[in-house]
């Protein structure tokens, strides 16, 4: 299938959280349709110790929180730096052993609706030895894989071709400088063949009309030096079997001959093609299966004879006795087929095979091995032939010592101390906020109560301010410019001062007792409103009993004070009160919000 969003079928969803099953057909070839099982990010089979990242924004967004479908910590892995434009931030997953990774699932940071970060695209790098990291490319050579469009949805992308990897890194991409977070799950099956690499001559080009057919190994991820390719894996191990007509391909939009790797017959007495295979550890080989094309009309034939040699390690020599298998003549059936070569249980880590020509061209699409892990090499190898049934001498999936078996759920590492610390910090912050709120609330009510206690009584508002001849009025209008109060004189005979917007109040009659005993001034200090008495000051006249009397009343209304005075009958007024020196004026208490 082409790369795209692929929903998981129900059987896969049921098996994804259980024991992993090898994706094999009974004929020994890999079935990519069955090799789509979750490898343990979501269910915890991959422990936190195998997750790492280039950086993290905080401990709550570390690599261990980048698990698909889970919201641990702050909900995802988030790198500390931007991924644009360098694209150097990555999330790494160590699978513990070799796997064939066929599918990648990604998700952004949702965090219960609080997260909005996700990766719109990403790139992959993988390694089979954790030293050499290879760039993944699709069948057309593109590296970028489409990602998410929202922070919550899961997007599954098929990897074609699927890489064989022990560790995998995901590099998120962004079109501009922006925050990116990622959750991840990998899907595939154990690479039980244990095959690390194969060495082969470069594929060649067949000159046909109307266009030449390119028969190269286009997905090979190893090295190429001259006519030789070595140190990698490619189309001979990708699980795709070619059709009877090699000019047709199982994938659309691919060039003719894509599914096959082909070589033309070289000159010489016994022309052949040499292939060499390197495995992860010592294995006992029962058989080899080679899928070949046999289209006679185009000059293509299967090999007539094969000869294989074995050696146990890189330092040892090839064993002197090879295994030889002959097909006994040309095969006339033009259909493609798998040829089984018995290997007799020979033990080795390296195999070298010579395939001898019977026609002008020889085309291979897949090479697989039926093998068992040798008992003393179980810890180093960890697998069985990916082309065959489960062996009885070794379990189907082996893990490194001290590590859980693939597919077996493990307990998540305990990080409760982090939760306790965060809880304590939150409690302390809430306590401080509560104390601050109580202090502010107390000050607020203290201010309110203080204002209520300083409000003057009605009796205190009646202040004797009149003197013979005129009356002092405190002009405290609210609309005046900010500054000290102004004092004006009311000439004798003028009426009471009245606020323009309110009706003139009628003064109630005063009792003789009230006139004879005037109220004391609000501030008894002699420096409040008048200077210290002198010898030439004229004493105020005594009010006649029963008369209207001269009095002054301070009426506090709406923050303004008004002095009310009436004409005082009696003796002629004395000399006018001199102007009060402003420098000797001292304010005792603020009676309102105006001037």
Residue located via tokens 């291979």: 364
Beta strands in 357-465 (DSSP E): 361-373
pLDDT for the residue numbered 472 = 45
Q: What are 240-295's pLDDT values in tens digits?
A: 999 999 999 888 888 889 999 999 999 988 999 999 999 999 999 999 999 999 99
Q: Quick one: pLDDT at residue 543?
A: 45
| Element spanning 213, H or E | strand 213-214
What H or E segment, with its residue span, contains residue 200? strand 195-201
Which run of H or of E encompasses 444? helix 416-453
Distance CA 290, CA 349 (A): 19
How far is it, in rounded angstroms, from Cα 43 to Cα 67? 9
pLDDT at 593: 72
Using H for helix, E for strand and C for coil, what is the string for 148-167? CCCCCCCEEEECCCCCEEEE
pLDDT at res. 536: 45
CB count within 10 Å of CB 520 equals 12
**pLDDT tens digits, 14-64:** 344 444 555 555 456 778 888 999 999 999 999 999 999 999 999 999 999
Residues 6 or more apart whose Cβ sits within 8 Å of residue 2: 158, 160, 251, 252
Q: Which residues of the chain have pLDDT under 70?
A: 1-28, 329, 376-417, 452-575, 594-595
Please report where in the chains the tokens 């004092």 appear, as a residue. 487
- Give the SS3 label for residue 124: strand
The values of phi and psi at residue 379, to 5°, are -65, -30
pLDDT (0 to 100) of residue 317: 94
Identify the sign of the CA torsion 532, 535, 537, 539: positive
Q: What is the pLDDT of residue 558?
A: 42
Q: Both tokens of residue 395?
A: 């379990």
Read off the pTM.
0.61
Q: What is the pLDDT of residue 435?
A: 94
pLDDT score at 574: 59
- What is the rounded (10 degree) CA torsion for 470, 474, 478, 481? 100
CA–CA separation, 572 and 185 (whole Å): 109
Residues paired with 377 in a beta bridge = none
d(CA 250, CA 452): 92
Instruction: Return the pLDDT at 328.
Output: 77
């Amino acid at each position: 299938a082409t790369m795209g969003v692929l929903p998981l079928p129900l059987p896969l969803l049921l098996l994804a959280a259980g024991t992993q099953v090898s994706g094999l057909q009974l004929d020994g070839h890999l079935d990519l349709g069955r090799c789509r099982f979750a490898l343990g990010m979501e269910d915890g089979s991959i422990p936190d110790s195998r997750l790492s990242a280039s950086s993290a924004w905080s401990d709550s967004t570390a690599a261990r929180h980048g698990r698909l479908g889970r919201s641990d910590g702050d909900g995802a892995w988030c790198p500390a730096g931007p991924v644009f434009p360098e694209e150097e931030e990555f999330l790494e997953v160590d699978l513990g052993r070799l796997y064939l990774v066929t599918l990648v699932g990604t998700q952004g940071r949702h965090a219960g609706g609080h997260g909005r970060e996700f990766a719109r695209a990403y790139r992959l790098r993988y390694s089979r030895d954790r030293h050499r990291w290879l760039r993944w490319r699709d069948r057309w050579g593109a590296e970028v894989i489409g990602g998410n469009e929202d922070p919550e949805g899961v997007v599954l992308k098929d990897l074609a071709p699927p890489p064989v990897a022990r560790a995998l890194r995901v590099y998120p991409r962004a079109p501009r400088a922006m925050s990116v977070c990622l959750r991840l799950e990998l899907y595939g099956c154990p690479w039980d063949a244990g095959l690390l690499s194969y060495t082969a001559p470069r594929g060649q080009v067949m000159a046909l009309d109307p266009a030449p057919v390119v028969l190269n190994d286009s997905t090979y991820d190893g090295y190429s030096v001259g006519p030789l390719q070595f140190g990698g894996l490619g189309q001979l191990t990708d699980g795709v079997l070619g059709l009877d007509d090699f000019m047709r391909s199982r994938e659309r939009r691919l060039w003719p001959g894509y599914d096959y790797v082909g070589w033309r017959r070289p000159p010489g007495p016994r022309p052949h093609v040499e292939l060499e295979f390197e495995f992860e550890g010592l294995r006992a080989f029962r058989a080899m299966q080679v899928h070949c094309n046999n289209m006679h009309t185009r000059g293509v034939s299967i090999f007539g004879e094969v000869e294989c040699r074995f050696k146990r390690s890189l330092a040892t020599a090839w064993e002197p006795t090879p295994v030889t298998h002959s097909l006994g003549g040309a095969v006339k059936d033009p259909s493609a087929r798998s040829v089984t070569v018995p290997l007799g249980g020979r033990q080795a880590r390296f195999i070298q095979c010579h395939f001898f020509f019977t026609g002008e061209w020889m085309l291979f699409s897949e090479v697989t091995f039926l093998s068992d892990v040798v008992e003393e090499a179980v810890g180093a190898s960890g697998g069985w032939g990916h082309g065959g049934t489960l062996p009885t001498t070794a379990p189907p999936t082996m893990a490194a010592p001290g590590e859980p078996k693939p597919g077996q759920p493990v307990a998540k590492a305990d990080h409760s101390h982090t939760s306790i610390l965060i809880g304590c910090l939150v409690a302390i912050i809430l306590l401080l906020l509560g104390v601050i709120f109580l202090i502010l609330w107390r000050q607020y009510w203290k201010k309110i109560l203080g204002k209520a206690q300083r409000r003057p009584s009605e009796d205190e508002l009646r202040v004797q301010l009149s003197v013979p001849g005129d009356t002092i009025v405190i002009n405290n209008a609210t609309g005046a410019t900010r500054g000290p109060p102004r004092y004006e004189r009311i000439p004798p005979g003028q009426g009471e001062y009245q606020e323009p917007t309110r009706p003139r109040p009628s003064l109630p009659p005063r009792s003789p007792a009230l006139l004879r005993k005037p109220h004391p001034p609000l501030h008894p200090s002699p420096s409040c409103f008048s200077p210290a008495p002198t010898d030439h000051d004229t004493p105020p006249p005594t009010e006649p009993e029963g008369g209207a009397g001269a009095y002054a009343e301070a009426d506090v209304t709406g923050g303004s004070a008004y002095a009310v005075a009436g004409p005082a009958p009696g003796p002629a007024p004395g000399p006018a009160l001199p102007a009060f020196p402003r420098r000797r004026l001292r304010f005792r208490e603020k009676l309102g919000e105006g001037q």
